Structure 1
Amino acid sequence: MHPGYTAVPDGDGPFPGVVVVHDAYGMTAELRRVCDHLAAQGYVVHAPSMFQGGRCLRQTFRSFVADQGPAYDRLEAERAALADRPDCTGRVGIMGFCMGGRFALVAAGRGGFDAASVNYGLLPKGKQEPAALEAMLSAPCPVVASFGDRDTVVDVAEVAKLRTGLERAGVPVDLKVYPGATHSFLAQYTGALGMLMRVQGMSHDPEASADAWARTLGFFDEHLGARA
Protein backbone atom coordinates (compact mmCIF):
# COMPACT_ATOMS: atom_id res chain seq x y z
CA MET A 1 0.00 0.00 0.00
CA HIS A 2 1.04 3.62 -0.55
CA PRO A 3 1.68 5.83 2.50
CA GLY A 4 -1.50 6.89 4.23
CA TYR A 5 -3.75 5.81 7.07
CA THR A 6 -5.07 2.29 7.70
CA ALA A 7 -7.88 1.34 10.07
CA VAL A 8 -8.81 -2.28 10.82
CA PRO A 9 -11.84 -3.65 12.72
CA ASP A 10 -11.48 -5.74 15.84
CA GLY A 11 -11.58 -9.46 15.17
CA ASP A 12 -10.17 -11.78 12.55
CA GLY A 13 -12.50 -11.01 9.65
CA PRO A 14 -12.52 -11.31 6.78
CA PHE A 15 -14.01 -7.86 6.23
CA PRO A 16 -15.03 -5.92 3.12
CA GLY A 17 -12.56 -3.18 2.20
CA VAL A 18 -12.91 0.54 1.54
CA VAL A 19 -10.41 2.92 -0.05
CA VAL A 20 -11.05 6.45 1.27
CA VAL A 21 -9.93 9.43 -0.83
CA HIS A 22 -9.35 12.68 1.04
CA ASP A 23 -10.47 16.16 0.07
CA ALA A 24 -8.15 19.02 -0.90
CA TYR A 25 -7.02 19.42 2.73
CA GLY A 26 -5.21 16.07 2.56
CA MET A 27 -4.48 13.71 5.44
CA THR A 28 -6.33 15.46 8.27
CA ALA A 29 -7.61 14.35 11.66
CA GLU A 30 -11.09 14.46 10.10
CA LEU A 31 -10.02 11.93 7.45
CA ARG A 32 -8.66 9.62 10.16
CA ARG A 33 -11.95 9.98 12.05
CA VAL A 34 -13.85 8.84 8.93
CA CYS A 35 -11.54 5.84 8.51
CA ASP A 36 -11.86 4.87 12.17
CA HIS A 37 -15.65 5.14 11.93
CA LEU A 38 -15.71 2.83 8.91
CA ALA A 39 -13.45 0.33 10.69
CA ALA A 40 -15.73 0.39 13.72
CA GLN A 41 -18.57 -0.53 11.35
CA GLY A 42 -16.69 -3.61 10.11
CA TYR A 43 -14.59 -2.48 7.14
CA VAL A 44 -10.84 -2.72 6.64
CA VAL A 45 -9.89 0.74 5.41
CA HIS A 46 -6.96 2.49 3.78
CA ALA A 47 -6.75 6.18 2.89
CA PRO A 48 -3.74 6.82 0.64
CA SER A 49 -1.94 10.14 0.84
CA MET A 50 -2.63 11.55 -2.62
CA PHE A 51 -0.23 14.44 -1.93
CA GLN A 52 2.78 12.37 -0.85
CA GLY A 53 5.77 14.40 -2.00
CA GLY A 54 5.89 17.26 -4.53
CA ARG A 55 5.78 14.96 -7.55
CA CYS A 56 2.66 13.16 -6.33
CA LEU A 57 1.00 16.48 -5.57
CA ARG A 58 1.49 17.65 -9.15
CA GLN A 59 0.46 14.28 -10.56
CA THR A 60 -2.66 14.23 -8.41
CA PHE A 61 -3.90 17.58 -9.66
CA ARG A 62 -3.07 16.72 -13.28
CA SER A 63 -5.01 13.47 -12.89
CA PHE A 64 -7.87 15.36 -11.25
CA VAL A 65 -8.15 17.80 -14.14
CA ALA A 66 -7.81 15.11 -16.82
CA ASP A 67 -9.83 12.34 -15.09
CA GLN A 68 -6.97 9.97 -15.90
CA GLY A 69 -3.34 9.40 -15.07
CA PRO A 70 -1.10 8.14 -12.24
CA ALA A 71 -3.53 9.00 -9.42
CA TYR A 72 -5.99 6.47 -10.80
CA ASP A 73 -3.27 3.85 -11.13
CA ARG A 74 -2.53 4.51 -7.46
CA LEU A 75 -6.18 4.03 -6.48
CA GLU A 76 -6.39 0.78 -8.43
CA ALA A 77 -3.21 -0.42 -6.70
CA GLU A 78 -4.80 0.43 -3.33
CA ARG A 79 -7.93 -1.52 -4.28
CA ALA A 80 -5.86 -4.56 -5.26
CA ALA A 81 -3.74 -4.34 -2.10
CA LEU A 82 -6.81 -4.26 0.12
CA ALA A 83 -8.47 -7.11 -1.79
CA ASP A 84 -5.34 -9.25 -1.32
CA ARG A 85 -5.18 -8.80 2.44
CA PRO A 86 -5.99 -12.03 4.33
CA ASP A 87 -8.44 -10.09 6.52
CA CYS A 88 -10.37 -8.77 3.51
CA THR A 89 -13.16 -10.59 1.68
CA GLY A 90 -11.84 -9.32 -1.67
CA ARG A 91 -14.77 -6.96 -2.22
CA VAL A 92 -13.67 -3.34 -2.06
CA GLY A 93 -15.51 -0.04 -2.26
CA ILE A 94 -14.26 3.51 -2.63
CA MET A 95 -15.38 6.59 -0.71
CA GLY A 96 -14.40 10.18 -1.43
CA PHE A 97 -15.12 13.74 -0.35
CA CYS A 98 -15.10 16.87 -2.55
CA MET A 99 -11.96 16.42 -4.70
CA GLY A 100 -11.84 12.83 -3.45
CA GLY A 101 -15.48 12.44 -4.41
CA ARG A 102 -14.57 13.21 -8.01
CA PHE A 103 -11.74 10.68 -7.84
CA ALA A 104 -14.16 8.11 -6.37
CA LEU A 105 -16.73 8.72 -9.11
CA VAL A 106 -14.21 8.42 -11.94
CA ALA A 107 -12.53 5.37 -10.36
CA ALA A 108 -15.97 3.81 -9.92
CA GLY A 109 -16.48 4.05 -13.67
CA ARG A 110 -13.41 1.98 -14.45
CA GLY A 111 -14.88 -1.37 -13.48
CA GLY A 112 -12.57 -2.29 -10.58
CA PHE A 113 -14.43 -1.25 -7.44
CA ASP A 114 -17.57 -3.00 -6.20
CA ALA A 115 -19.33 0.13 -4.87
CA ALA A 116 -18.65 3.85 -4.55
CA SER A 117 -19.67 6.54 -2.06
CA VAL A 118 -19.47 9.99 -3.66
CA ASN A 119 -19.86 12.85 -1.18
CA TYR A 120 -20.26 16.31 -2.73
CA GLY A 121 -17.82 15.20 -5.43
CA LEU A 122 -16.84 17.89 -7.90
CA LEU A 123 -18.72 17.27 -11.14
CA PRO A 124 -17.89 18.17 -14.76
CA LYS A 125 -19.54 21.29 -16.13
CA GLY A 126 -19.40 23.63 -19.09
CA LYS A 127 -18.30 22.59 -22.55
CA GLN A 128 -16.47 19.52 -21.27
CA GLU A 129 -19.42 18.23 -19.25
CA PRO A 130 -21.15 15.86 -21.75
CA ALA A 131 -18.00 14.01 -22.80
CA ALA A 132 -16.52 13.94 -19.29
CA LEU A 133 -19.72 12.62 -17.71
CA GLU A 134 -20.12 9.98 -20.42
CA ALA A 135 -16.52 8.82 -19.92
CA MET A 136 -16.82 8.51 -16.14
CA LEU A 137 -20.04 6.52 -16.49
CA SER A 138 -18.73 4.09 -19.11
CA ALA A 139 -18.55 1.11 -16.71
CA PRO A 140 -19.84 2.32 -13.34
CA CYS A 141 -20.24 0.23 -10.23
CA PRO A 142 -23.16 0.86 -7.83
CA VAL A 143 -23.01 4.45 -6.52
CA VAL A 144 -24.39 6.09 -3.37
CA ALA A 145 -24.01 9.87 -3.52
CA SER A 146 -24.80 12.75 -1.17
CA PHE A 147 -24.97 16.48 -1.91
CA GLY A 148 -26.40 19.61 -0.29
CA ASP A 149 -28.74 22.04 -2.01
CA ARG A 150 -26.84 25.01 -0.54
CA ASP A 151 -23.55 23.81 -2.05
CA THR A 152 -21.81 26.76 -3.72
CA VAL A 153 -19.05 24.54 -5.13
CA VAL A 154 -21.15 21.84 -6.85
CA ASP A 155 -24.05 22.99 -9.02
CA VAL A 156 -27.25 21.13 -8.15
CA ALA A 157 -28.10 21.11 -11.87
CA GLU A 158 -24.99 18.99 -12.48
CA VAL A 159 -26.13 16.61 -9.73
CA ALA A 160 -29.37 16.03 -11.65
CA LYS A 161 -27.34 15.17 -14.76
CA LEU A 162 -25.27 12.72 -12.72
CA ARG A 163 -28.43 11.02 -11.46
CA THR A 164 -29.77 10.72 -15.01
CA GLY A 165 -26.47 9.34 -16.28
CA LEU A 166 -26.20 6.72 -13.56
CA GLU A 167 -29.80 5.62 -14.05
CA ARG A 168 -29.23 5.42 -17.80
CA ALA A 169 -26.15 3.26 -17.16
CA GLY A 170 -28.42 0.79 -15.39
CA VAL A 171 -26.47 0.47 -12.14
CA PRO A 172 -27.91 0.64 -8.62
CA VAL A 173 -27.86 4.26 -7.47
CA ASP A 174 -28.88 6.02 -4.26
CA LEU A 175 -28.44 9.77 -4.75
CA LYS A 176 -29.83 12.33 -2.33
CA VAL A 177 -29.66 16.11 -2.17
CA TYR A 178 -30.12 17.41 1.38
CA PRO A 179 -32.16 20.62 1.84
CA GLY A 180 -30.20 23.30 3.67
CA ALA A 181 -26.90 21.39 3.60
CA THR A 182 -23.73 23.10 2.36
CA HIS A 183 -20.63 21.74 0.69
CA SER A 184 -18.63 19.49 3.05
CA PHE A 185 -21.65 19.02 5.33
CA LEU A 186 -20.31 15.65 6.51
CA ALA A 187 -17.00 17.09 7.72
CA GLN A 188 -16.41 17.94 11.37
CA TYR A 189 -13.33 20.13 11.04
CA THR A 190 -12.13 22.00 14.13
CA GLY A 191 -9.45 24.59 14.79
CA ALA A 192 -8.07 26.62 11.89
CA LEU A 193 -9.65 24.38 9.25
CA GLY A 194 -13.02 24.61 10.98
CA MET A 195 -12.76 28.39 11.00
CA LEU A 196 -11.78 28.40 7.31
CA MET A 197 -14.79 26.26 6.47
CA ARG A 198 -17.12 28.65 8.28
CA VAL A 199 -15.62 31.66 6.49
CA GLN A 200 -16.29 29.85 3.21
CA GLY A 201 -19.91 29.34 4.18
CA MET A 202 -19.59 25.61 4.84
CA SER A 203 -20.80 23.88 7.98
CA HIS A 204 -21.35 20.44 9.45
CA ASP A 205 -24.99 19.30 9.32
CA PRO A 206 -25.54 16.63 12.00
CA GLU A 207 -28.96 15.52 10.75
CA ALA A 208 -27.95 15.27 7.09
CA SER A 209 -24.67 13.59 8.08
CA ALA A 210 -26.41 10.91 10.12
CA ASP A 211 -28.76 10.12 7.26
CA ALA A 212 -25.97 10.11 4.68
CA TRP A 213 -23.89 7.73 6.81
CA ALA A 214 -26.88 5.41 7.31
CA ARG A 215 -27.56 5.35 3.56
CA THR A 216 -23.89 4.77 2.74
CA LEU A 217 -23.44 1.92 5.21
CA GLY A 218 -26.67 0.29 4.09
CA PHE A 219 -25.59 0.58 0.46
CA PHE A 220 -22.16 -0.85 1.23
CA ASP A 221 -23.82 -3.70 3.16
CA GLU A 222 -25.81 -4.56 0.07
CA HIS A 223 -23.02 -4.31 -2.49
CA LEU A 224 -19.85 -5.18 -0.52
CA GLY A 225 -21.28 -8.00 1.54
CA ALA A 226 -21.14 -9.03 5.16
CA ARG A 227 -19.30 -7.00 7.78
CA ALA A 228 -18.79 -7.41 11.52
Structure 2
Amino acid sequence: MHPGHTSVPAGDGPFPGVVVVHDAYGMTAELRRVCDHLAANGYLVHAPSLYQRGRCLRQTFASFVADQGPAYDRLEEARAALAARPDCTGRVGVMGFCLGGRFALVAAGRGMFDAAAVNYGLLPAGKQEPAELARMLSAPCPVVASYGGRDKVVDVAEVDKLRAGLERTGIPVDLKVYPEATHSFLAQYTGALGMLIRIQGMSHDPAASADAWERTFAFFAEHLGGPTPAASPSAEGGAA
Protein backbone atom coordinates (compact mmCIF):
# COMPACT_ATOMS: atom_id res chain seq x y z
CA MET A 1 0.00 0.00 0.00
CA HIS A 2 1.32 3.44 -0.93
CA PRO A 3 2.14 5.55 2.16
CA GLY A 4 -0.84 7.47 3.46
CA HIS A 5 -3.79 6.83 5.76
CA THR A 6 -5.95 3.69 5.83
CA SER A 7 -9.30 3.37 7.60
CA VAL A 8 -10.93 -0.04 8.05
CA PRO A 9 -14.61 -0.60 8.94
CA ALA A 10 -15.65 -2.67 11.92
CA GLY A 11 -16.57 -6.25 11.11
CA ASP A 12 -15.20 -8.93 8.82
CA GLY A 13 -16.24 -7.59 5.43
CA PRO A 14 -15.61 -7.79 2.60
CA PHE A 15 -16.16 -4.08 2.00
CA PRO A 16 -16.13 -1.91 -1.12
CA GLY A 17 -13.06 0.32 -1.29
CA VAL A 18 -12.58 4.06 -1.71
CA VAL A 19 -9.37 5.87 -2.59
CA VAL A 20 -9.51 9.40 -1.13
CA VAL A 21 -7.43 12.07 -2.86
CA HIS A 22 -6.32 14.98 -0.68
CA ASP A 23 -6.54 18.66 -1.52
CA ALA A 24 -3.61 21.07 -1.86
CA TYR A 25 -3.04 20.97 1.93
CA GLY A 26 -2.04 17.30 1.81
CA MET A 27 -2.47 14.74 4.58
CA THR A 28 -4.29 16.75 7.24
CA ALA A 29 -6.21 15.68 10.32
CA GLU A 30 -9.36 16.74 8.48
CA LEU A 31 -8.61 14.34 5.61
CA ARG A 32 -8.04 11.51 8.09
CA ARG A 33 -11.38 12.31 9.67
CA VAL A 34 -13.03 11.98 6.27
CA CYS A 35 -11.41 8.56 5.79
CA ASP A 36 -12.66 7.47 9.19
CA HIS A 37 -16.16 8.77 8.35
CA LEU A 38 -16.22 6.66 5.18
CA ALA A 39 -15.03 3.61 7.13
CA ALA A 40 -17.72 4.14 9.76
CA ASN A 41 -20.21 3.91 6.91
CA GLY A 42 -18.88 0.60 5.60
CA TYR A 43 -16.03 1.46 3.20
CA LEU A 44 -12.43 0.27 3.21
CA VAL A 45 -10.47 3.47 2.65
CA HIS A 46 -6.97 4.52 1.70
CA ALA A 47 -5.76 8.08 1.14
CA PRO A 48 -2.35 7.98 -0.56
CA SER A 49 0.05 10.78 0.30
CA LEU A 50 0.95 12.52 -2.96
CA TYR A 51 3.45 14.79 -1.16
CA GLN A 52 6.41 12.94 0.28
CA ARG A 53 9.46 14.74 -0.95
CA GLY A 54 10.00 17.98 -2.82
CA ARG A 55 10.17 15.97 -6.01
CA CYS A 56 6.76 14.42 -5.34
CA LEU A 57 5.27 17.86 -4.70
CA ARG A 58 6.51 19.07 -8.08
CA GLN A 59 5.39 15.86 -9.77
CA THR A 60 1.92 16.16 -8.26
CA PHE A 61 1.34 19.65 -9.61
CA ALA A 62 2.87 18.71 -12.96
CA SER A 63 0.43 15.77 -13.13
CA PHE A 64 -2.42 18.13 -12.25
CA VAL A 65 -1.57 20.52 -15.08
CA ALA A 66 -1.01 17.75 -17.63
CA ASP A 67 -3.81 15.42 -16.46
CA GLN A 68 -1.28 12.60 -16.59
CA GLY A 69 1.90 11.46 -14.88
CA PRO A 70 3.16 9.91 -11.61
CA ALA A 71 0.23 11.10 -9.46
CA TYR A 72 -2.12 8.94 -11.51
CA ASP A 73 0.27 6.01 -11.19
CA ARG A 74 0.05 6.37 -7.40
CA LEU A 75 -3.75 6.46 -7.53
CA GLU A 76 -3.78 3.28 -9.61
CA GLU A 77 -1.37 1.64 -7.15
CA ALA A 78 -3.70 2.58 -4.28
CA ARG A 79 -6.74 1.24 -6.16
CA ALA A 80 -5.03 -2.05 -6.99
CA ALA A 81 -3.78 -2.49 -3.42
CA LEU A 82 -7.27 -1.96 -1.98
CA ALA A 83 -8.89 -4.29 -4.54
CA ALA A 84 -6.39 -7.04 -3.74
CA ARG A 85 -7.09 -7.03 0.00
CA PRO A 86 -9.09 -10.04 1.26
CA ASP A 87 -11.42 -7.67 3.13
CA CYS A 88 -12.30 -5.78 -0.09
CA THR A 89 -15.05 -6.78 -2.52
CA GLY A 90 -12.86 -5.71 -5.43
CA ARG A 91 -15.05 -2.74 -6.31
CA VAL A 92 -13.24 0.53 -5.63
CA GLY A 93 -14.36 4.14 -5.96
CA VAL A 94 -12.45 7.40 -5.75
CA MET A 95 -13.28 10.56 -3.81
CA GLY A 96 -11.43 13.85 -4.13
CA PHE A 97 -11.57 17.42 -2.87
CA CYS A 98 -10.47 20.56 -4.76
CA LEU A 99 -7.09 19.58 -6.27
CA GLY A 100 -7.91 15.97 -5.45
CA GLY A 101 -11.33 16.43 -7.03
CA ARG A 102 -9.66 17.14 -10.36
CA PHE A 103 -7.53 14.00 -9.99
CA ALA A 104 -10.66 12.01 -9.12
CA LEU A 105 -12.54 13.34 -12.14
CA VAL A 106 -9.75 12.60 -14.60
CA ALA A 107 -9.15 9.13 -13.12
CA ALA A 108 -12.89 8.45 -13.30
CA GLY A 109 -12.93 9.41 -16.97
CA ARG A 110 -10.29 6.79 -17.78
CA GLY A 111 -12.07 3.80 -16.29
CA MET A 112 -9.67 3.51 -13.36
CA PHE A 113 -12.47 3.27 -10.77
CA ASP A 114 -16.01 1.92 -10.43
CA ALA A 115 -17.51 5.22 -9.20
CA ALA A 116 -16.26 8.70 -8.37
CA ALA A 117 -17.22 11.44 -5.90
CA VAL A 118 -15.91 14.82 -7.09
CA ASN A 119 -16.13 17.61 -4.53
CA TYR A 120 -15.50 21.10 -5.96
CA GLY A 121 -12.87 19.57 -8.22
CA LEU A 122 -10.75 22.22 -9.92
CA LEU A 123 -11.72 22.76 -13.55
CA PRO A 124 -9.06 24.65 -15.54
CA ALA A 125 -10.78 27.27 -17.69
CA GLY A 126 -11.22 26.31 -21.32
CA LYS A 127 -10.90 22.55 -20.77
CA GLN A 128 -14.65 21.94 -20.43
CA GLU A 129 -15.39 22.34 -24.13
CA PRO A 130 -17.13 19.32 -25.75
CA ALA A 131 -14.06 18.01 -27.59
CA GLU A 132 -11.82 18.37 -24.52
CA LEU A 133 -14.36 16.67 -22.27
CA ALA A 134 -14.84 13.83 -24.76
CA ARG A 135 -11.11 13.16 -24.64
CA MET A 136 -11.02 13.33 -20.84
CA LEU A 137 -14.11 11.13 -20.43
CA SER A 138 -12.99 8.37 -22.76
CA ALA A 139 -14.07 5.49 -20.44
CA PRO A 140 -16.08 7.15 -17.67
CA CYS A 141 -17.49 5.56 -14.54
CA PRO A 142 -20.57 6.89 -12.66
CA VAL A 143 -19.92 10.31 -11.08
CA VAL A 144 -21.50 12.13 -8.14
CA ALA A 145 -20.26 15.72 -7.89
CA SER A 146 -20.87 18.63 -5.51
CA TYR A 147 -20.04 22.30 -6.10
CA GLY A 148 -20.81 25.63 -4.45
CA GLY A 149 -22.69 28.41 -6.20
CA ARG A 150 -20.55 31.04 -4.44
CA ASP A 151 -17.28 29.28 -5.27
CA LYS A 152 -14.65 31.89 -6.22
CA VAL A 153 -12.13 29.20 -7.24
CA VAL A 154 -14.25 27.14 -9.64
CA ASP A 155 -16.34 28.99 -12.24
CA VAL A 156 -19.96 27.80 -12.06
CA ALA A 157 -20.23 28.26 -15.84
CA GLU A 158 -17.46 25.66 -16.22
CA VAL A 159 -19.39 23.36 -13.88
CA ASP A 160 -22.42 23.62 -16.19
CA LYS A 161 -20.20 22.57 -19.11
CA LEU A 162 -18.90 19.65 -17.06
CA ARG A 163 -22.46 18.56 -16.27
CA ALA A 164 -23.34 18.61 -19.98
CA GLY A 165 -20.19 16.67 -20.86
CA LEU A 166 -20.85 14.01 -18.24
CA GLU A 167 -24.47 13.64 -19.33
CA ARG A 168 -23.42 13.23 -22.98
CA THR A 169 -21.50 10.08 -22.02
CA GLY A 170 -24.69 8.38 -20.85
CA ILE A 171 -23.20 7.35 -17.49
CA PRO A 172 -25.13 7.79 -14.22
CA VAL A 173 -24.47 11.36 -13.03
CA ASP A 174 -25.58 13.20 -9.90
CA LEU A 175 -24.13 16.72 -10.03
CA LYS A 176 -25.50 19.35 -7.67
CA VAL A 177 -24.59 22.99 -7.15
CA TYR A 178 -25.43 24.39 -3.71
CA PRO A 179 -26.34 28.06 -4.38
CA GLU A 180 -25.09 29.55 -1.09
CA ALA A 181 -22.04 27.31 -0.60
CA THR A 182 -18.46 28.48 -1.12
CA HIS A 183 -15.42 26.52 -2.21
CA SER A 184 -14.40 23.92 0.39
CA PHE A 185 -17.88 23.97 1.91
CA LEU A 186 -17.42 20.43 3.23
CA ALA A 187 -14.32 21.49 5.17
CA GLN A 188 -14.24 21.64 8.94
CA TYR A 189 -10.66 22.82 9.33
CA THR A 190 -9.73 24.45 12.64
CA GLY A 191 -6.74 26.38 13.95
CA ALA A 192 -4.45 28.37 11.66
CA LEU A 193 -5.56 26.49 8.54
CA GLY A 194 -9.20 27.10 9.34
CA MET A 195 -8.49 30.79 9.83
CA LEU A 196 -6.63 30.95 6.50
CA ILE A 197 -9.58 29.37 4.70
CA ARG A 198 -12.01 31.85 6.26
CA ILE A 199 -9.77 34.78 5.26
CA GLN A 200 -9.93 33.47 1.70
CA GLY A 201 -13.71 33.72 1.81
CA MET A 202 -14.45 30.02 2.25
CA SER A 203 -16.58 28.50 4.99
CA HIS A 204 -18.13 25.24 6.10
CA ASP A 205 -21.79 24.86 5.16
CA PRO A 206 -23.41 22.29 7.49
CA ALA A 207 -26.63 21.85 5.49
CA ALA A 208 -24.91 21.54 2.10
CA SER A 209 -22.28 19.27 3.61
CA ALA A 210 -24.84 16.91 5.12
CA ASP A 211 -26.77 16.73 1.86
CA ALA A 212 -23.62 16.13 -0.19
CA TRP A 213 -22.60 13.26 2.09
CA GLU A 214 -26.07 11.69 1.90
CA ARG A 215 -26.00 11.88 -1.91
CA THR A 216 -22.50 10.43 -2.00
CA PHE A 217 -23.34 7.49 0.24
CA ALA A 218 -26.52 6.75 -1.72
CA PHE A 219 -24.54 6.88 -4.98
CA PHE A 220 -21.77 4.65 -3.63
CA ALA A 221 -24.34 2.20 -2.27
CA GLU A 222 -25.80 1.87 -5.76
CA HIS A 223 -22.58 1.75 -7.77
CA LEU A 224 -20.04 0.22 -5.36
CA GLY A 225 -22.38 -2.10 -3.50
CA GLY A 226 -21.96 -0.35 -0.16
CA PRO A 227 -24.54 -0.34 2.64
CA THR A 228 -27.76 1.54 2.02
CA PRO A 229 -27.49 4.77 4.05
CA ALA A 230 -30.12 5.99 6.48
CA ALA A 231 -30.99 9.62 5.73
CA SER A 232 -29.84 11.57 8.75
CA PRO A 233 -28.08 14.86 9.59
CA SER A 234 -25.37 12.68 11.19
CA ALA A 235 -24.25 11.85 7.65
CA GLU A 236 -22.24 15.07 7.65
CA GLY A 237 -18.46 14.92 7.38
CA GLY A 238 -15.90 17.06 5.60
CA ALA A 239 -12.66 17.76 3.86
CA ALA A 240 -11.30 20.76 2.07
Separation in 2, partners of 1:140, 1:77 = 19
Q: Deviations over 1:16-61 (max 9, x none)?
A: 0000000000000100010000000000000000111111111111
Aligned partner of 2:49: which letter? S
Deviation of 1:197 after TM superposition, in Å, equals: 0.5
Separation in 1, partners of 2:133, 2:50 = 23
Give the 3-state SS of the residue equivalent to 2:165 in structure 1. helix
Give the 3-state SS of the residue equivalent to 2:151 in structure 1. coil
Unaligned runs of 5+ in 2: 229-240
Say if 2:88 is the partner of 1:81: no
Equivalent residue runs for 1:50-129 within 5 Å: 50-126=50-126, 128-129=127-128
TM-score, length-normalised on structure 1? Answer: 0.97
Paired residues of 2:117 and 2:145 also in contact (CA < 8 A)? yes
Unaligned runs of 5+ in 1: none
Aligned position for 1:24:
24
Q: Deviations over 1:104-141 (max 9, x none)?
A: 00000111200000000001313x44354332211110
Greater Cα shift, 39-48 or 131-140: 131-140
Give the 3-state SS of the residue equivalent to 1:35 in structure 2. helix
Separation in 2, partners of 1:213, 1:226 = 14
Give the 3-state SS of the residue equivalent to 2:177 in structure 1. strand
Tell me how many residue pairs correspond in the alignment.
227
Aligned partner of 1:118: which letter? V
Separation in 2, partners of 1:42, 1:227 = 6
Deviation of 1:93 after TM superposition, in Å, equals: 0.2
Paired residues of 1:124 and 1:133 also in contact (CA < 8 A)? no
Supply the RMSD in Å over aligned alpha carbons: 1.1
Separation in 1, partners of 2:149, 2:169 = 24
Give the 3-state SS of the residue equivalent to 2:124 in structure 1. coil
Deviation above 6 Å: which 4+ runs of structure 1? none
TM-score, length-normalised on structure 2? Answer: 0.92
Identity across the alignment (%): 82
